[in-house]
Every structure is written in structure tokens, then in C-alpha cells.
Amino acid sequence: MKVKISDIAKAADISTASVSRVLNHQGGYSQATAERITKIADEMGYFKNRSASDLASRSNNTIGIIYTDFETNFNDLIIRNTMLEAKQHHLDVILMIAQQNDPAGLTKIIRDMIERRVFALQFISTHPSPQMIEMLNRANVFPQVIGDATNHTVSSVSSDDYEIGYQATSYLINHGHQRIGFVSPSVTRDYVTRLRFSGYQRALDDHHLHFKADWLVEENYSYQAGLKAANHYQQTDIDAVIGVSDEVSWGLLNGFYDAGCKVPDQVALISVDGTQLCEQTRPQLSSVTQDFASMGKTAVRQLIDNRATPHQVTTLTVPFKIDARQTT
């Protein structure tokens, strides 16, 4: 039913080997036959069977991307740039989405990727547990985490999160703020947050400011978290806040608005991520802006470089900047 290489071979009265050669642009045939074969293949509506091809050639030039439908909104940015870079290097990409907080589901997806024999696996706004890493190692596929560092032994490309915390805080302090809130996931459980919070604390220390417990709101990266935190801050004497994602900061902004608290006059607000969203709020959110585009591209190059030296753990860091807009 489906036309295969042997059908073309028959129709062209030539061997399957030759057909394969021209269809894959491998050279070693005359211009004439090349054209003839191509034409016939076209007419017959031939489509390579990837399974057969991959199997026979033991090849493997597709990279897998796993991401979660997270509260954050920078996935697209990373994915798009990853794909762009992949295209440059003639790699195929397949995506799969994992649900949040569903280890079993994630495991299944990783399994699926392994079975499809991707040569590398990128994780965006999620990361594999130690067991999953173990599984990937056994399967000999190279995992890499983007934009979400872990203390696990996986390669990663991300921003310097400690420095993000430090810079954001310093920025606020240098603009005259003294009582600085921090809204984030759990400082103890979330690794990225731990780093950022360390930077935050260090900046406070360096400026002889004394941290107070009610400055910290531990929730997650969501808009809701921001809303809730803004509410909480009504009972405090905070004069500035760091929201650890654009969504959180948006929530903060609206929360303050709803409470009749003026931003930036009564509270300054700085976001972390710096996606488009920041320019779409009123007032526009100042932010620590991560370079997600660069992360995506760097990650792919990294994958390619390390193809030879499998499972060497590398940690790459991409520069960020601070964009002052209207909330500071």
C-alpha cells in the first residue's frame, strides 16, 4: 500500500541501493539517474519510513525536548531558539510536555524519548530526578537542563542565579529601599530559589540591612502566588519587592493595585525573567532580564560539542541584565 524504496527501484529498473543513495544525497551516481529517481519518487508519493531508516543506519539525529506547562512563560522563547539552532545543525527536534508534579508521567515521557533513541534530551523548566538521571545514563542519552539549575549531576545552561538575587537586591538598595520583600518558591526545596535567596541575603548583609522573616513569601512561580503575597505585604512595612518570575510580579502588581497600594510610589517592584510580559503591564515591570534565546542556542551547541564525550557534566552560564522600567 505505502510506496517503498523497492517500488521505486522496480519502477526505475535500478537497485534499491541506488535509490537510497540519491534520496539521501549521498553522491556516487550520475546526475541523470538522480533526476530520474527523484522524479519517480515524487510521482509515486514516496515518504521515507523513518523507523526503517533509523534502524538500518543506527543513526540518530533528533534531540528531544521535555518541558512542563509551568506557570512561567519563557518556555516558548527557549524552545523556539533551541529549534532554530537545531535546524542550523540539521537536527530534528521532538517535543513532549510533562505535567507538573507528576514524576510517574515524567518518567514515562523520558522512557518514550529513550525508546525513540533521541541522542540528547533537554529539560525546560523541569528537571530529572536522580533516578531519572540514572535511567538516562544507562540508556546512554545525554540530559541537559535549561534555565533551571539543580544540584543533581546534570549538565545545565542557565543564568547565574546567585548573582541574579544579589544584583536585584543591590539595585533596589541603591535606589534607596531598605525593607525588601522576596516572593519565591520554597527557599529550602527549590534549588534555584536557594541560590537567588542567598544572593539576596548577601546583598542585604553587604549593606548592613537586617532581614526580617515576614519579608519572605514562599509559594511558587505563579501569578496567584504574587496576588497572595501582595495581600500578605499589606501587614508589613515593606518598601520594595522582588518577584522571582514575571508571573509572580504581575500578580504582585495587580495585588497591590487591588489593595490601593501604589507601585512604585509606595512599593517598588522588580521582576525576574524579563519576558515580553514586563512591557505589557501598566506600569511596566522593571526586571532582571534573562537571555533565554541565548540559553536555547547555547544548549544546542553544547549538546553537539558533547556528543563525542558523552555524559560529561557541564554547567554553562549565560549573562543577564537589569532593565529599569516603571516599577522601580
Partner DNA sequence: GTGAAAGCGCTAACAT
Partner DNA sequence: ATGTTAGCGCTTTCAC
Q: Which residues in this chain contact DNA in the complex, by CB under 7 A?
A: 2, 4-6, 13-18, 20-21, 23-24, 26, 28-30, 32-33, 46, 48-49, 52-53, 55-59
Nearer to a second copy, 165 or 226 (CB): 226
Nearer to DNA, 32 or 213 (CB): 32
The answer to whether 226 and 269 are in contact (CB under 8 A) is no
Whether the bond into 283 is cis, omega within 30 of 0: yes
The answer to whether 99 and 107 are in contact (CB under 8 A) is no
Residues 6+ apart with CB under 8 A from 107: 131, 132, 135
Could you say which of DNA, a second copy, none residue 237 binds, taking C-beta under 5 to 8 angstroms by partner kind? none
Nearer to a second copy, 16 or 53 (CB): 53
Q: How far is the CB of 21 from DNA (least distance, A)?
A: 6
Q: At what angle do helices 246-258 and 223-233 cross, to 10 degrees?
A: 40
Could you say which of a second copy, DNA, none residue 314 binds, taking C-beta under 5 to 8 angstroms by partner kind? none
User: Beta 180-184 vs 240-243: how paired, if at all?
Assistant: parallel
Q: What are phi and psi of 277, to 5 degrees?
A: -45, -40
Q: How far is the CB of 268 from a second copy (least distance, A)?
A: 19
Could you say which of a second copy, DNA, none residue 100 binds, taking C-beta under 5 to 8 angstroms by partner kind? none
CA separation (Å) from 59 to 7, 99, 133, 173, 309? Answer: 24, 30, 23, 55, 17
Q: Radius of gyration (Cα) for the chain, nearest Å?
A: 25
Cell numbers that stand for 262 in this block: 501604589
Could you say which of DNA, a second copy, none residue 282 binds, taking C-beta under 5 to 8 angstroms by partner kind? a second copy
State how far the Cα of 147 lies from the Cα of 273, in Å rounded to an integer: 10
Could you say which of a second copy, DNA, none residue 76 binds, taking C-beta under 5 to 8 angstroms by partner kind? a second copy
Q: How far is the CB of 32 from DNA (least distance, A)?
A: 7
Q: How far is the CB of 251 from a second copy (least distance, A)?
A: 8
Cell numbers that stand for 156 in this block: 545545565
Q: How far is the CB of 107 from DNA (least distance, A)?
A: 19
Q: How far is the CB of 59 from DNA (least distance, A)?
A: 6
Q: How far is the CB of 57 from DNA (least distance, A)?
A: 3
Could you say which of DNA, a second copy, none residue 45 binds, taking C-beta under 5 to 8 angstroms by partner kind? a second copy
Interacting residues toward a second copy by CB under 8 A: 1-2, 45, 47-55, 69, 76, 79-80, 83, 92-97, 99, 111-112, 114-117, 138-140, 223, 250-251, 254, 257-258, 276, 280, 282
b/e code 2-24 from CB counts within 10 Å (16+ = b):
eebbebbbebbebeeebbbbbbe
